[in-house]
């Protein structure tokens, strides 16, 4: 089982380098992270963006600009489209967001004609967190892409966190479907959807994982809370993954974990024709490096 994000980097080295293209890669954090990924031997990299801006960052940060293939495009929307086109044409295995907004990045991915969305597919964001207070990596969804997931989308989110957890060498991930309470309250849609998905897993409609819900966050990850509440569950107290009912709940948990609990993170979008690194423009170089490694990990055979 992979328990540290640093281990993901070592894990992907065994599978050989992948080709990465970064969209509108004009900023220091993106270029530094890509440079580190090149140095660590996990990717060969292409940067789509303003050549002068990229060269300046490399000079300022003492990075050898010749390590990257640079495709000049000074317009961020066109840069995103060009990067997506390179993935679609097989010139890159992994797409990465640079210094452009998430909505423009996702718009390029979701374009029905030129994007990376398979027919009838649903994309979701998956975040892997390394929390000092938790004994293993925690996979969560969805903090960035699906605002108010319906039941069908939650099923996709559940399958996606299972896929990521299994790539982290967890053979049978324990997935907690998060609500405000572990009680089955018919008046709360989060509880109802969680119960439906848990029963689907019981009947083999969702495979390769133990899935339970509704579960509140405390009983999902804290064995003491489980004991106090006398809860019987194959997942409670030891979750590998958590699927949240709404983007507000997931994003609030994510930001509390990173800002108050010093969590290290990696974030990608899966469900497209290639893994897509999706981090905030303000995220650290380390976060972006870990996200690249996670995306490379998801390139392998399922």
Q: Containing H/E element for 13?
A: helix 5-13
In a 3-state reduction of DSSP, which class is residue 124?
Answer: strand
Looking at residue 302, its pLDDT comes to 46
Q: Look over the chain and give the mean of its residue pLDDT values, rounded to a whole number.
A: 95
Q: Angle CA(34)–CA(295)–CA(126) in degrees, nearest 5?
A: 120
State how far the Cα of 126 lies from the Cα of 133, in Å rounded to an integer: 20
Residue 282 has pLDDT above 90, yes or no: no
Is 70 exceeded by the pLDDT of residue 185?
yes
| pLDDT mean over 285-291 | 94
Mean pLDDT of 203-211: 97
Looking at residue 301, its pLDDT comes to 56
Nearest to 144, CA basis, from 55, 59, 246, 73 = 246
**Interatomic CA distance for residues 275 and 266, integer angstroms:** 13
Name 266's bridge partners: 128
pLDDT score at 284: 85
Mean pLDDT of 158-167: 97
Q: What is the pLDDT of residues 215-264, one digit of tens each?
A: 999 999 999 999 999 999 999 999 999 999 999 999 999 999 999 999 99
What is the share, in percent, of the chain residues with pLDDT greater than 90?
94
Residue 296 has pLDDT above 60, yes or no: yes
50-94 residue pLDDT tens: 999 999 999 999 999 999 999 999 999 999 999 999 999 999 999
**Residue 47: φ, ψ to 5°:** -115, 125
Let me know: does 236 contact 221? Beta carbons within 8 Å.
Answer: no
**Structure-block tokens of residue 155:** 């099923």
Residue 120 has what pLDDT? 87
Asked if 63 contacts 34 with a C-beta cutoff of 8 angstroms, the reply is: no
Would you state the structure tokens that stand for residue 271, as one six-digit string?
């469900």
Contact 144, 102 (CB under 8 A): yes
Tokens of 245: 């009912």
Task: Look up residue 279 and give its two tokens.
Answer: 């981090």
CA-closest candidate to residue 33, choices 99, 80, 100: 99
Q: Give the count of alpha carbons within 13 A of 34, CB side only.
A: 37
């Amino acid at each position: 089982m992979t328990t540290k994000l640093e281990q993901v980097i070592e894990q992907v080295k065994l599978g050989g380098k992948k080709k990465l293209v970064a969209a509108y890669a004009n900023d220091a954090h993106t270029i530094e992270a890509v440079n580190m990924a090149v140095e660590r031997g996990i990717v060969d990299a292409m940067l789509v963006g303003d050549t002068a801006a990229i060269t300046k960052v490399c000079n300022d940060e003492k990075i050898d600009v010749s390590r990257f293939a640079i495709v000049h495009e000074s317009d961020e929307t066109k840069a995103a489209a060009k990067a997506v086109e390179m993935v679609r044409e097989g010139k890159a295995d992994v797409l990465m967001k640079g210094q452009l907004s998430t909505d423009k990045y996702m718009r390029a991915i979701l374009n029905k004609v030129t994007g990376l969305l398979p027919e009838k597919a649903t994309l979701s964001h998956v975040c892997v967190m390394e929390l000092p207070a938790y004994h293993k990596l925690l996979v969560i969804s969805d903090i960035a892409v699906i605002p108010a997931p319906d039941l069908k989308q939650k099923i996709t989110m559940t399958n996606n966190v299972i896929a990521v957890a299994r790539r982290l060498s967890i053979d049978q991930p324990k997935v907690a479907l998060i609500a405000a309470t572990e009680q089955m309250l018919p008046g709360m849609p989060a509880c109802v959807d969680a119960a439906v998905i848990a029963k689907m897993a019981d009947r083999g409609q969702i495979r390769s994982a133990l899935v339970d819900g509704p579960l509140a966050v405390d009983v999902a990850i804290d064995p003491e809370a489980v004991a106090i509440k006398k809860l019987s569950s194959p997942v409670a107290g030891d979750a590998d993954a958590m699927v949240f009912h709404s983007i507000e709940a997931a994003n609030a948990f994510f930001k509390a974990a990173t800002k108050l609990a010093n969590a290290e993170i990696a974030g990608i979008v899966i469900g497209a024709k290639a893994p897509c690194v999706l981090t905030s423009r303000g995220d650290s170089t380390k976060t972006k490096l870990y996200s690249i490694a996670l995306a490379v990990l998801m390139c392998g055979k399922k």
